[in-house]
Amino acid sequence: MARNKPCPCGSGKLLADCCLPIIKGDSAATAEALMRSRYTAYVLGYWDYLHQSWHPNTRPSRVSPSDTDWLGLTIVQSTTESVEFIAGFREESKIMALHEISRFMQVDHHWRYIDGQCDISEAGRNTPCPCGSGKKTRHCCGKRLP
Ligand SMILES: [Zn+2]
Ligand SMILES: [Zn+2]
């Protein structure tokens, strides 16, 4: 486990100083911190944590493992109980953007994910890459496409 690698959530901190302690049981200080840790859990495959951090009323019976090729996360804005974000991923030969507004609630002092409104679309070649690099897709993740 690459604890000394940059955290997949894009915070600029090391994994061991960012999302990993939350995944391992520390409580997230904010809804945004929980959201970031859930993104990182999707990247690294912590399916049990994803299940556990879901609100008991809305969680699926299990979180199915998936091998989505995540490219990066950008937080658009966050409030106390919601986070709007864009997450980029690769699907076959396309760069896709997941744009979601997630809602969170505290249960026994732990932030939990309730649900989200999401919109998935193919990233434009000349629009900012959904990985959050700030470069155009065709100069960034789109360059490596077959
Ligand atoms: Zn992180
Ligand atoms: Zn990119």
pLDDT (tens digit, 9 = 90+) per residue, 80-105? 999 999 999 999 889 999 999 999 99
Q: How far is the CA of 71 from the centre of ligand 2 (A)?
A: 7
Domain limits, the chain: 15-144
Q: How far, CA to CA in Å, does 129 sit from each of 26, 87, 137?
A: 32, 10, 4
Report the distance separating Cα 1 and Cα 14, nearest Å: 12
Distance 41 CA to ligand 1 centre (A): 10
Nearest ligand, CA 128: 2
Quick check: 1 pLDDT over 70?
A: no
φ and ψ at 37, to 5 degrees? -65, -30
CB of 42 closer than 8 Å to CB of 54: no
- Position 145 scores a pLDDT of 61
Q: pLDDT digits over 15-45, tens only?
A: 999 999 999 999 999 999 999 999 999 999 9
User: How far, in Å, from the CA of 125 to the mean position of ligand 1?
Assistant: 27
**Domain 15-144, CATH 3.10.450.50 — does that match?**
yes
CA dihedral 122, 139, 38, 79 (to 10 degrees): -80
Does residue 106 carry a pLDDT above 90? yes
